[in-house]
Amino acid sequence: MNSSAVNKPATLSSSETGARVERLPLSRFTTLGVGGEAEVWTVGNHAQLREAMSAPYRILGGGSNLVVADEGLMERVIRLGGEFAATDLELDPQLSTPEQLITGWVGGGVPLPGLLRKLQRLGYGNLEGTVGIPAQLGGAIWMNAGTRFGEAFDGLHSLEIASPEGTRTVTPLDLPWSYRDSGIPRNHIVTRARLKLRPSTPELVQEKMDAADTARKGQPKNRTPGCAFKNPTLPGGERLGAGKLIDEARLKGSRVGNAMIAPEHANFIVNLGGASAADVHALLALIRSRVGVHLELEYELWP
C-alpha cells in the first residue's frame, strides 16, 4: 500500500494479507458520533491482525468510551471482524460441569448487547449485570466494564490476547484484574474469549437484566460516551457523586456548540447533533473550573 493512497479520504485499499484498509471518519464508530479521520484496518484473522500491528496502532471496540479528536488520528485504528466477530456458544463438553458452563470462543469484536440477548434466550447467567453497556466483548473485558449488578470478569473463563510480541491464552487468574480494570496492557488486543456461565432459565436471566436496566432509567437517550467523570474520593475516604457535584454547580443543560451537559443526568455530556470533540472538551473544562473537587475523566480522549 503506498502512502499517497492512504492519505486520500475514504480510499479503500487492501493490505498484503487482505485486511480491509480505509480512510474513514471515526465519528461513524463512536457512540458520541464525534471524531476525525484515521486509517481504519478491519482485520478478520491473525495474519491480518499481525500485519495491522506492524505500525503504531490503536484498537477500537464499540467506541462507547471514547472522545476522538476532530483532527483525527495519526495511528492506524484496528477493528475486529471475521473470525474475531464470530460467536460459538456451543458448550465445551470437556470443560463444562453441571454448575459451570464453558462455551467455545466468542470474538472480541462481538457486540455485547447482541451476545447478552443470545445468552438470555439460552438461559445462561453470569453476565446479566453488564446489560445496557454498548461495548464490544473485547472492550468490555479490557476495562472489566460493569455495574453494581455484575461485571465482565464474572463470566470469563479464558481469553486470547494479541500484541506485536505474539498471541497468548490466559485465564483471569493470570491477570491483576480489579474494579473496572482487566490489568491487560494498553494495545494488547483481546481477540476472543471463552465464557464461563451459570445454568439458569431465560425468565430468571431476564429478571436480572431488567433489574440492571431499571437502574439506568435516569440516563439520557442522546448520543454520549457514557459517564464523563469517575466519582471522586475525598482524602478521608468519603466517596462523592460526580453527577451530584456537577448538578450542584448548576451546570445541567449547559451547552457549547452542539454538546450539552444532559438535563437528565449531569455526569453525561450528549451530542445534540453535529457536536465536535472541541465542544465536548470545552464542557469538560467548564465543569472542572466550576466543581471544587478534582475530577478524573471516565472516558478516553483520543489522541
When asked if residue 108 is in the footprint of ligand FAD (CB under 6 A), the reply is yes
Complex with ligand FAD: residue 21 or 66, whichever CB lies closer: 66
Query: In this chain, which of 11, 15, 147, 169 binds ligand FAD, going by CB under 6 A?
Result: 147
Say what angle helices 202-214 and 112-122 make with each other, to 10 degrees: 140
Question: What phi, psi does 221 have (nearest 5°)?
Answer: -95, -15
298 flagged as catalytic:
yes
28 flagged as catalytic:
no
Catalytic residue chosen out of the listed positions 117, 180, 216, 250? 180
Size of site (CB under 6 A) for ligand FAD:
31
Complex with ligand FAD: residue 134 or 155, whichever CB lies closer: 134
Q: Which amino acid is at 303?
A: P
> What residues have CB less than 8 Å from 295, skipping those under 6 apart?
229, 230, 232, 242, 245, 287, 288
Stretch binding ligand FAD (CB under 6 A), from 93-101, 143-151, 169-177, 288-296: 143-151
When asked if residue 42 is in the footprint of ligand FAD (CB under 6 A), the reply is no
151 flagged as catalytic:
no
The whole-angstrom separation of Cα 270 and Cα 253 is 10
Place of cell 471518519: 25
Query: In this chain, which of 26, 52, 53, 59 binds ligand FAD, going by CB under 6 A?
Result: 59
Contact (Cβ atoms closer than 8 angstroms) between residue 162 and residue 197? no
Dmax over CA atoms of the chain, in Å, equals 58
Query: In this chain, which of 42, 103, 120, 136 binds ligand FAD, going by CB under 6 A?
Result: 136
Catalytic residues: 180, 227, 298
